[in-house]
Structure 1
Amino acid sequence: MRALFPLLMLLLSACSNLPMAIKEAPSPDWQLSQVAVEAEQHKGEVIRWGGQVVKVENDDNGSTIHVVQFPLNSFGRPDSDGVSQGRFLIHSESFIDPYIYKAGTLITVAGTVEKKETVTIDKKSMSLPVVISSELYRWTQADYSRDPYWRSHPYYYDPFAYGPYYGPGLRPSWRYYNGLYW
């Protein structure tokens, strides 16, 4: 039995592939609305924000990702149904492929606030906070289409669904457990 415990712990630790900077919020957890007003005062502060990619720009100095912010859930995944606090920019010294990080991709970034930068969006100049990326995580369809809890397995089986525990018409549909509504 003692030999199985380390094996079990190894298997359980392999289930999570998220970097710790993405999975856990920094302390203090600065929000975009707080930093956007006075980014210069928050220079060097560690943040963890997420959202949806608008576009990626590459040049000789690195890459810039334009992101519409969305609130993060407890795992650091952006909730695109949530209320956005605005936009921000991510700077990275490495090349970011615009095909992989195409418009609409959900991402979470951990990094530090650098400054504010003025950009033009549909003929309107806006001043956006700039984040220097230390960790960048791209969420795949499988990551954000399933709930990480009991509905995460596509073939979830409820052993009580057909017993006397549910009344007539109260049996759950398999589509609900699957997280898909067909």
Structure 2
Amino acid sequence: MRTTLRRFRLDWLGQFLSQTQAPGLDPQQPVSPSNPLQPTGPEPGPEPGTAPEGGYGLRAVAPALVLVLVGALVGCAGTIPEPIRDPGTTTPLGVSEVQADPNRHIGVRVRWGGTIIAVTNRERSTQIEVLARALDRDGAPRSGSSADGRFIAEVAGFLDPAEYPKDRELTVVGIITGVETRAVGDYPYVYPVVQADARYLWPEPQPAPVYPGPWFGPWYDPWWGPWYGPPGFRGGPWYW
């Protein structure tokens, strides 16, 4: 009776194991005699290019990495203000090049900028004399760059000189219409003239904030510091 019962239990266990497979158990893989649920060989790893359970593979994160890199490049590039954003001014052309051969460059569309020297109001237009400087990627005159000569930006209508004061930064877009000779001191200077149909007056730079020193405040003695003695003591080098 006991032998029959034991044989029945072994047969039932064999049928159960044949119908049930533990996670990660390969039916073709040899089984450890001591533990039928544990394979003797190494566990199969993830397929190449795929992620382990709970992780992210290279194929999954590649699109995200591309988006991050593109966003970083766009953030680094300066954004040109809408009024002077003109795709027709991609070819760089300096003021000195136009001064050397004016007739060759008449009709060329340019984006020039610099600091304002003077503003002259005429009957139907306003002429802005500008000291040209190289432009950054956002179209702003590059601070600290050397001057590239002078040019005249001619704008139709009236512009108040008070709104375009001397030394303000200005960028214009327009077509070169010719040159005009004016005296700079006793020197006859040749100004390239740009008929500006778009312009951008850059905001004035804000001064850097000034913060109080570490010894400033109602809780500090006015004479406390490295050059003075401790509070209530005036025995520093400046007091005897």
TM-score norm. by structure 2 comes to 0.50
Q: Does residue 123 in structure 1 map to residue 182 in structure 2?
A: no
Give the direction of change, closer, same or farther, for the CA distance of 1:118–1:145 in structure 2 (3 Å limit): farther
Matched AA of 2:107 = G
Instruction: Give the alignment partner of residue 79 of structure 1, picking from 118, 122, 142.
Output: 142
Give the direction of change, closer, same or farther, for the CA distance of 1:64–1:20 in structure 2 (3 Å limit): closer
Question: Which whole-Å deviations, capped at 9, do the CAs of 1:106-132 have from their partners, x for residues lacking one?
Answer: 000110101010011122211110000
Q: Between Structure 1 and Structure 2, which shows a larger proportion of strand residues?
A: 1
Q: Does residue 50 in structure 1 map to residue 109 in structure 2?
A: no
Are the counterparts in 2 of residues 112 and 131 from structure 1 also a CA contact under 8 Å? yes
Q: Give how far 1:23 is off.
A: 7.1
Where does structure 2 lack aligned partners over 5 or more consecutive residues?
Answer: 1-78, 210-240
Quote the residue 2:70 is aligned against. none
CA distance in 1, matches of 2:107, 2:98: 11
Question: Which whole-Å deviations, capped at 9, do the CAs of 1:126-171 have from their partners, x for residues lacking one?
Answer: 11100000111000125x879xxxxxxx9xxxxxxxxxxxxxxxxx
Q: Give how far 1:32 is off.
A: 1.5
Matched AA of 2:198 = E
Q: Give how far 1:61 is off.
A: 2.5
Give the direction of change, closer, same or farther, for the CA distance of 1:25–1:51 in structure 2 (3 Å limit): farther
Instruction: Give the alignment partner of residue 26 of structure 1, picking from 83, 89, 98.
Output: 89
Matched AA of 2:173 = A
Q: State the Cα RMSD in Å.
A: 2.4
Q: Secondary structure at the match of 2:104?
A: helix
Quote the residue 1:65 is aligned against. 128
Percentage identity across paired residues of the two chains: 26
CA distance in 2, matches of 1:92, 1:115: 15
Aligned residues between the structures: 131
Q: Give how far 1:50 is off.
A: 0.5
CA distance in 1, matches of 2:104, 2:144: 30
Q: Which protein shows a greater Rg?
A: 2
Matched AA of 2:120 = E
Q: How does 1:1-182 map to 2 (within 5 A)?
A: 18-19=81-82, 21-22=84-85, 26-142=89-205
Quote the residue 1:162 is aligned against. none
